[in-house]
Amino acid sequence: MNSREKQNMELFSYIENLDNRKLEEIILKLAQVFGSEKIVFASSLSIEDQVITDIIAKKINNIKIFTLDTGMLPKETIELIDITEKKYNIKIERVMPDETAVLEMIRIHGANLYYESVEKRKLCCHTRKILPLLKRLAVVNVWITGLRREQSITREHAGKIEFDEKFGIIKVNPLMYWTTQDVWKYIGENNVPYNVLYDRGYQSVGCASCSRAVKPGEDLRSGRWWWEDPSRKECGLHINPKNETKARKNESA
């Protein structure tokens, strides 16, 4: 654990009691502790992330928003970035993977490696998402996300405010206890722009090749990497070792 990670862990004890506060209250308190320049919101342009963007744009100043542009996003997601920037008069930073690393991966494994095995799919996610995220988070103390417990069994043990051991950073998941109905209610009442793919049956949108529409009654993230075991379908961005341990204990109980 480096000095930055140790500092983040120590400061986490001061803010974990904010769990029952609203998003804007949590962020304002964090800004007092760290400074707003040390807080970032990572948006995938999901319905959850669009809710958070709406709140940040209207009620909080100087919180930077970025998205991981893997080079494989659906055109509908790219279009939504532009729509969102114009509506809120904000700039969403596009964090992209290292081009050389991507080309080398494709040279060795082929362009569609993610369909061949879980290991190769995770390699693609690691190259296109994890490494760029690591680089972006290395200069901040707080990472805001749109995670919700209802999204999948791999997220049901996450907390609203937690210390992410994998990235050595304080992680804030303000919508953790929201339901899908809560999210859509907010979007409707506040005229929040959202990805049109949701109107076509998508419930989770990532890279174009790894996302599809889902059937009624299916898990919210069943359209992501649908060819894999649903109990382990994560790209690696939101896997906290502590939560993984809890999940495994429940599975074996």
- Give the model confidence (pLDDT) of 25-69 as tens digits: 888 888 888 889 999 999 999 999 999 999 999 988 789 999 999
Sign of the CA dihedral with 126 first, then 131, 132, and 134 last: positive
**Active site includes 219?**
no
Sign of the CA dihedral with 164 first, then 183, 231, and 71 last: negative
Residue 88 reports pLDDT greater than 70: yes
Q: What is the pLDDT of residue 245?
A: 47
Q: What is the pLDDT of residue 60?
A: 86
What mean pLDDT do residues 13-36 have?
80
Q: Which segments of 68-227 does DSSP mark as H helices, in order?
A: 75-88, 99-109, 118-125, 131-137, 180-190
Sign of the CA dihedral with 183 first, then 184, 187, and 192 last: positive
CA distance 97 to 171: 22
How many whole angstroms from its chain centre is CA 163? 15
Q: What is the mean pLDDT of the chain?
A: 86
What mean pLDDT do residues 193-219 have?
92
- Extract the annotated binding site: 124-125, 207, 210
Of 178, 124, 152, the C-alpha closest to 238 is 152
What mean pLDDT do residues 117-133 have?
95
Q: What is the pLDDT of residue 122?
A: 94
Query: Catalytic: which of 23, 102, 144, 235?
Result: 235
Of the given ranges (33-37, 92-96, 112-116, 227-231), which has the lowest mean pLDDT?
227-231
Number of domains in the chain: 1
CATH number assigned to the domain comprising residue 114: 3.40.50.620
- Extract the annotated binding site for [4Fe-4S] cluster: 124-125, 207, 210
Q: What is the pLDDT of residue 232?
A: 54
Q: Which domain holds residue 126?
A: 3-252
What mean pLDDT do residues 100-115 have?
97
Share of the chain above pLDDT 90, in %: 59
Structure tokens at 143: 């990472």
Confidence band for 215, pLDDT divided at 50, 70 and 90: confident
Q: What is the pLDDT of residue 206?
A: 93
The strand pairing partners of 169, in sequence order, are: 164
What mean pLDDT do residues 90-100 have?
98
CA distance 92 to 239: 24
Q: What is the pLDDT of residue 154?
A: 52
What mean pLDDT do residues 145-161 have?
76
Give the SS3 label for residue 20.
Answer: coil
